[in-house]
C-alpha cells in the first residue's frame, strides 16, 4: 500500500491543529454571545419552541405540500449580542436546516430578512404597505 509523502512545513510554522485552535479563539472573542447557545436557558427555550412548532415554518409557507421537521431555532430579528432579544420566545421560528442555511440566510445577506406569517403581531412590529411593498417598523 502506498504511503502518503510527508508534508512540508517550515520551522516555526503552526500546525493545522494550532491554526484551528487560533481560529476558534478569534471567533469566540469576536462573538461572545455564541456561548449562550449552550446554556440551559437556551436549550429549554429551544425545546419549548419545537414543542409548539415542530414543523419548518418556511416549508409550510412556501411549499405547503412539503412537511419537514424543524431542526433549527431561528432568530427572526438578529440579536447581535442583545441578550433580551436572544432569549425572546416571540423572536424565534422553527426551521429545517436546508431552509435556514439556504433561502432564509440568503435573504438576510441581501438585507431582506424572512419573517414568518403572524410574527409581526407577536414581535410588536407593525406593517404598513407603501406602493405595493411592505415596510416594517418595530415598536
* Residues 91-120: tens digit of each pLDDT: 999 999 999 999 888 888 888 788 888 665
97 sits in which H/E element: helix 97-99
Domain that holds residue 110: 46-115
Asked whether residue 53 is domain-assigned, the answer is yes
Asked whether residue 57 is domain-assigned, the answer is yes
- Please give the pLDDT value at position 54: 96
What Cα–Cα distance (Å) separates residue 59 from each residue in 46, 63, 70, 79? 19, 5, 10, 23
pLDDT surpasses 60 at 127:
no
Q: Tell me what the mean pLDDT of segment 61-82 comes to.
A: 91
Query: pTM of the prediction?
Result: 0.67
Asked whether residue 31 is domain-assigned, the answer is no
- Please give the pLDDT value at position 90: 94
Asked whether residue 97 is domain-assigned, the answer is yes
Asked whether residue 125 is domain-assigned, the answer is no
Asked whether residue 9 is domain-assigned, the answer is no
* Residues 9-53: tens digit of each pLDDT: 788 889 889 999 999 889 888 888 888 999 999 999 999 999 999
Number of domains in the chain: 1
Asked whether residue 80 is domain-assigned, the answer is yes
Task: Tell whether the torsion through CA atoms of 17, 19, 20 and 25 is positive or negative.
Answer: positive
Asked whether residue 10 is domain-assigned, the answer is no
Amino acid at each position: 500500500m502506498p504511503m502518503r509523502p510527508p508534508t512540508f512545513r517550515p520551522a516555526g510554522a503552526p500546525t493545522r491543529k494550532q491554526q484551528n485552535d487560533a481560529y476558534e479563539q478569534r471567533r469566540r472573542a469576536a462573538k461572545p454571545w455564541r456561548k449562550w447557545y449552550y446554556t440551559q436557558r437556551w436549550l429549554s427555550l429551544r425545546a419549548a419552541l419545537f414543542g409548539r412548532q415542530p414543523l419548518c415554518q418556511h416549508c409550510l409557507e412556501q411549499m405547503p405540500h412539503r412537511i419537514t421537521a424543524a431542526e433549527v431555532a431561528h432568530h427572526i430579528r438578529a440579536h447581535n449580542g442583545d441578550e433580551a432579544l436572544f432569549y425572546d420566545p416571540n423572536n424565534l421560528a422553527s426551521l429545517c436546516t436546508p431552509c435556514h442555511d439556504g433561502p432564509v440566510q440568503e435573504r438576510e445577506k441581501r438585507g431582506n430578512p424572512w419573517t414568518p406569517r403572524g410574527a409581526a403581531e407577536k414581535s410588536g412590529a407593525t406593517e404598513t404597505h407603501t406602493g405595493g411593498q411592505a415596510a416594517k417598523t418595530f415598536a
